[in-house]
Amino acid sequence: AFTWEVRANDRNYHMQFKKKFAFCLTKKKYAGNAIKTAKYNIFTFLPLNLYEQFHRMANVYFVFVILLQTFPEISTLPWFTLLFPLSCLLTIRGLRDLIDDIGRHQSDRNINSRPCEILSGKSFRWQKWHDICVGDIVRLRKESFVPADMLLLCSSEPSSLCYVETADIDGETNLKFRQALLDTHQELVSEESMAAFDGEVTCEEPNSRMHSFTGTLEWRGETYPLDSERILLRGCKIRNTDVCYGLVIYAGFDSKIMRNCGKIKRKKTKLDRVMDWLVIIIFLVLLVTSLCLAIASGFWAKMFQEKHSYLSALYKHTTPAQQAFFNFWGFTILLSIIIPMSMYITFEFIYLVNSFFINWDLEMYYAVKDIPAKARSTSLNDQLGQIEYIFSDKTGTLTQNVMSFKKCCINGAIYGNFCRMQVYRDSQGSGLTWSHHSEKKSDFCDVTLLEAARQDSDPVLREFLRLLALCHTVMVEEKGDQLVYQAASPDEEALVLAARNLGYVFLARTQDTITISELGVKRTYKVLAMLDFNSDRKRMSVLVRDPQGRIRLYTKGADTVILERLQSRGPNETFTEMALDCFAEETLRTLCLASKEVSEVEYSVWSRRHREASVLLQDRAQELDKLYEEMEQNLQLLGATAIEDKLQDGVPETIQLLKLGNIKVWVLTGDKQETAMNIGYACKLLTDDMEILEEKEISSAPTTLSSHSEILEAYWVSNNNLSSSGEALCSDHLSQQRPEASCHKKRALIISGDFLDKILHTGEVLKEKKGRRWRRLACFRATGSQEQGGLVEKAFVDLATSCQAVICCRVTPKQKALIVQLVKKHKKAITLAIGDGANDVNMIKTADIGVGINGLEGMQAVQCSDYALAQFSYLQRLLLVHGRWAYLRICKFLRYFFYKTFAGLMAQVWFAFHSGFTAQPLYEGWFLALYNIFYTTYPVLSMGLLEQDVSAKKSLEFPELYVIGQQDELFNYRIFSVTLLHGVSTSLASFYIALWAFQDRVGSRAVGDYESFAVTVATSSLLSVLMEIILDTKFWTALSFLMVTASLLLFCLFSFLTQSFEAFRIAPAIFHFPDASRNALTDPYVLLVVLLSVVVNTIPSLTIRLYRTITGKTTIQQKICLKARREPEPSVELRAHVPRGSFCRRSSYAFSHQEGYAGLITRGDSLRTGATCST
């Protein structure tokens, strides 16, 4: 609906509009330009944070127990003894969230405080981004970022062109042009005229559609249509344009990029969700146990109260049923320490320290820019060890955004293999007078080519370099004695610079001429026609008349289109194709160069037809394409160029390691398909032995399995438990249509955002299939409440996840998040998203783990990320080392915390069977209070902080170790059940061995009292727990040994202090075990009983470990660890990549360019004549 009205220079008009957002509450319809990624403010922090924290079941459980303890009839401990640790837990987590949010506030302030020039009155004044309002006119300068979505009014460029870089929005590095309306360009020539501008824009409401805009401008009684070509989006960077002016249409959260950013959601790890369920399970077990013991207490009271008068007197005011009721709650409180709050406090401490380990890792410190790794979230470390899918941006994440001319093939000869240009320059001194424009340093180095260019004896080489200097849309500007090129794409700039370094310098151009310097000689060519590039033609040509009057056509483009338009094929063409193979093997971006001479007669006929086609009102583009096709025939091949789109350091090795760790990498980019595929091969995500499933294949062959609808049908059949007939039908079709396709065949899926939107939102691909087979398969589809859209989603995800690599091109930020969400929804997989621009923010927020690259495209990705890195290659260490260690440590910590808790405290249950089923504690109160704080926490804490199964070096050498986290091998419901049974068995052995021993003691000096029995059981349980932790610790440090020793010393110290006779005399109600430890632990008999208990509890663990080692029935992890320890030290190089097989040659074409620049040049729109308006 076109209900969004914007009046220029009229803030009061926009302030009057309100919109409802909750019940009867309203807010301003037009948002301000300030953004807020922070979650809290000074008023909402406490309620919102507490609301989020009480989403954890453990916190709800602790509050419930505290409420029970406020009733004195059932309380076994003072209520504040549990309130204090809960308050500490909530405070620690709250402070952690507050610190994280303060960082977001700081980042918001940095963005909102960026300076900009806003028209105020009749002059522009420097203000902040957050001061911008809808309807303001803003002046932007070169290299500045656009602060809001704006209508371009005019610029200093000819015809009010404005060149923008959208890498922060869609990942594309080539420049795009925007053009203002002719009337605003001509009329708004001064600040006074802008202040008087009162145009009104009517357009669509704020939305997330990045590439579309529809509206009108009403001004001076005229109505002008507006589209996306007139709009500057927030986040664009102004390039090659000195000054431009814009009218703010959408500000702040109404801007398209912010609409694509999504909301901040609290992320929970898989272990957090498991822990929530375990708390519920333990609580239910606790309630059932308490209920059973309470019922037993009622029966026991009924049986024995009448027989024993002292019991009748004690419970004369209560009936057995009442006693059972009170005992139920008493047991509930007594056993509540089975879920200790100290575990959650320790949990947070482990998370925090492991985050510091990431921050302190010098292997992830980027010294070039002084950027360390940063764990912005401290509660997701263990999930770094469970990643199954990585969704990566391309531009700035995998690549450096730097194009470099590396090699070329001219007349069948390859150049660029030798790097001696600098040495040659140094030796020649000032001999290269014709090359004073060349760069001092060049990535392209070949003395042979340089010398051949100097001699100027090879006509093919001369034409090759001349083509590079002539066939392009680059603009040039002189600044002093320097030539500054303004290219629409980094590819074109690299080609023109390469020609300049070899003596063919592009100097100037007009509407119909282009001037170059050839080996120091200035020559001007008349431009007769420019045959523009587009994604279908994959080539561009320029038709020129040289100073001698000859007409020549120069063409550059993809090898697949140039080679089929050659006049003849000979040895040179064959050698060039072989060179293209070599360039493709090196994953360089290639272009073929060709030319031909055009006769005057041919040109005059073609020119007349060209003029006629240029003025057609219908089918103009098709007629021009036909004419271009006619002209670009019978070409003579000159050679090929190879440009390197430089990857970040270590990207291919990182992706190889991640793939070996069973992590699938998907590339989601807004760039073109050819560019994305080229990078896919460069970073080893794609290999030549892969079957590439492209969108073109899917759309072009409906009778084969390449038809995407049939592929989706096949997955429907195989993944929805369909009938055998349906499965057979699908299987037959697979074997008939593509017999070479195998389930073991490596496949890669490459699709576009448009196609993704088509199959996921409208289902048009499926609806197009109306044939008999489609109707037959329809009867086999799962029916029920699931809608067709959900089935299409699942089929697509099944198809994509079955591929070894997936590349999605031309996707919007919202589509990136959608893809991540689909994989999370249908595969229940742990996902990681990594990117460096604002277009990656939504994806980063949606994924389970968000990683921001601290790169060139601003800081928005880092601000919304969970972890910040300087390079993509650091991801291997973050996941394979820190992530795996964190998962290992947390899982071991949980296992042994639960084990020690059940082993030490379940004796309370066994004691109830021998104490009349009363809620009488077995242990002294101080032992219960200190058991989980001092006596057993330190060894488990050292395991949670320092445990390693193998070193960091071995972890990177053997990425297969990572699989264990993906399969939840170290902590799951089965492991928890085994841990629970292990703890119960330890408590049974400790309790009943002591009970058996104490029942057999006689004599005057025998220790057989209740206090000594409690000390014996406590000591046996504690030592058994410590022995189990000692046996399972793989990585011993001085701190680990110190913590185990400290636990024993603290147990002895506090036991003798709290159970001393002096303490009893001071406070007999608090210290009611006088000299119990001294009496029991100095008795040799008791010490032998303790030793027996420890041996009995340890022998099963030792036996199981020995049995697994002898029989070879070790876990996957243990086998790999054993292999890792036995392997010799690895060589410096990483594993070899998958060898390339013998396949048909693939095209390595990838040219970053936007259609339309040729028209700008031939019309003269892009040629400077002076400033458009005052600055």
The whole-number average pLDDT for the span 917-921 is: 81
The single residue listed with the structure tokens 């913590």 is 1043
- pLDDT of residue 1166 exceeding 70: no
For residues 668-676, give the mean pLDDT: 80
Q: How many CB atoms lie within 10 A of CB 408?
A: 30
> Per-residue pLDDT for 779 more than 90?
no
pLDDT score for 707? 41
Q: How confident is the model over 142-173, as pLDDT tens digits? A: 989 999 999 999 998 877 888 888 877 766 66
Top CATH class, 403-645: alpha beta
Which band of pLDDT confidence, cut at 50, 70 and 90, is reported for residue 581?
Answer: confident
Q: Is the pLDDT of residue 724 over 70?
A: no
Predicted local distance difference test score (pLDDT) of residue 515 = 93
More confident residue, 676 or 184: 184
Confidence at residue 554, expressed as pLDDT on a 0 to 100 scale:
96
Closest by Cα among 929, 1043, 973, 1026 to 340: 929
Catalytic residue of the set 136, 382, 393, 798: 393
The mean predicted confidence, pLDDT, of the chain is 80
Q: Binding site annotation covers 816? A: yes
Report the alpha-carbon distance of residue 715 to residue 719 in Å, rounded: 6
Sheet strands (E) in 727-875? 747-752, 805-809, 831-835, 849-853, 867-869
For 704-735, the DSSP string reads STTSHHHHHHHHHHHHTT--HHHHHHHHHHHH
Q: Is 247:5 a contact under the CB 8 Å cutoff?
A: no
**Least confident window among 281-290, 336-345, 891-900, 1133-1142:** 1133-1142
Answer with the residue of higher pLDDT: 403 or 439: 403
- Predicted confidence at residue 1002, as pLDDT, reads 52
Rounded CA-CA distance 921/314 in Å is: 19
Q: In this predicted structure, what is the pLDDT of residue 1123?
A: 59
Domain boundaries, the chain: 115-259, 350-360+880-1126, 403-645, 661-879
177 three-class SS: strand
- Residue 424 clears pLDDT 70, i.e. is over it: no
pLDDT score of 914 more than 80:
yes
Cα radius of gyration rounded to whole Å, the chain: 37
Of 811, 813, 831, nearest in space to 822 by CA: 831
Model pTM score: 0.77
Tell me phi and psi for residue 540, to 5 degrees: -140, 155
pLDDT tens figures, 440-481: 556 677 788 888 888 888 999 999 999 999 999 888 877 777
Residue 1094 reports pLDDT greater than 50: yes
Least confident window among 179-193, 981-995, 1107-1121: 1107-1121
In this prediction, residues 718-728 reach a mean pLDDT of 39
> pLDDT band at residue 16, thresholds of 50, 70 and 90?
confident
The bridge status of strand 539-545 relative to strand 521-531 is antiparallel
- Contact assessment for residue 393 and residue 171, using Cβ atoms and an 8 Å cutoff: yes
Contacts of residues 1042-1049 at CB distance under 8 Å and 24 or more positions apart, as own/partner, are 1043/938, 1043/939, 1043/941, 1043/942, 1044/938, 1044/939, 1044/942, 1046/938, 1047/934, 1047/935, 1047/936, 1047/937, 1047/938, 1047/939, 1047/1022
CB 664 within 8 A of CB 831: no
- How big is the CA angle at 687 (ends 681 and 691), to the nearest 5 degrees? 115
Which candidate, 977, 785, 970, places its Cα nearest to that of 386? 970
Indicate the pLDDT class of residue 1092, thresholds 50, 70 and 90.
very high
Annotated binding-site residue? 393: yes
Q: Which of 90, 98, 92 is nearest to 38 (CA)?
A: 98
Reported in sequence order, the residue ranges of 331-425 that DSSP labels E, i.e. its strands, are: 374-375, 389-392, 399-410, 413-415
pLDDT at site 493: 87
What average pLDDT does range 215-220 have in this prediction?
A: 92
Q: How far apart are CA 448 and CA 544, in angstroms?
A: 29
C-alpha atoms less than 13 angstroms from C-alpha of 564 in its C-beta half-sphere:
7
Exposed, middle or buried, 193 (CB in 10 Å: 0-12/13-18/19+)? middle
Q: Are strands 215-219 and 200-203 parallel, antiparallel or unpaired?
A: antiparallel
The answer to whether the annotation marks 549 as part of a ligand binding site is no
Residue 19 CA from chain centroid, whole number: 35
SS3 label, residue 680: helix
Q: What is the pLDDT of residue 163?
A: 84
% of the chain at pLDDT higher than 70: 80
C-alpha to C-alpha distance for 822 and 800, rounded to whole angstroms: 11
The mean-pLDDT minimum among 127-141, 264-278, 944-958 falls in 264-278
Q: Which CATH number fits domain 115-259: 3.40.50.880, 2.70.150.10, 3.10.28.10, 3.40.50.1370?
A: 2.70.150.10
Q: What is the pLDDT of residues 1034-1087, one digit of tens each?
A: 888 899 899 999 999 988 888 888 877 777 777 776 777 777 778 788 888 889
3 state DSSP class of 1132: coil
Nearest-CA neighbor of 175 among 244, 246, 240? Answer: 240
883 is in an annotated binding site: no
Segment holding 13, helix H or strand E: helix 11-15
Residue 866 known to be catalytic: no
Local confidence band at 781 (pLDDT 50, 70, 90 cut-offs):
very low
Ranking 579-588, 943-952, 1009-1018, 1146-1155 by mean pLDDT, the lowest is 1146-1155
pLDDT in tens, 843-868: 998 999 999 988 655 567 787 889 99
**pLDDT the model gives residue 347:** 83
**pLDDT class for 815, splitting at 50, 70, 90?**
confident
The sign of the torsion formed by the CA atoms of 382, 387, 390, 391 equals negative
CA angle 782–785–789, rounded 5-degree value: 75
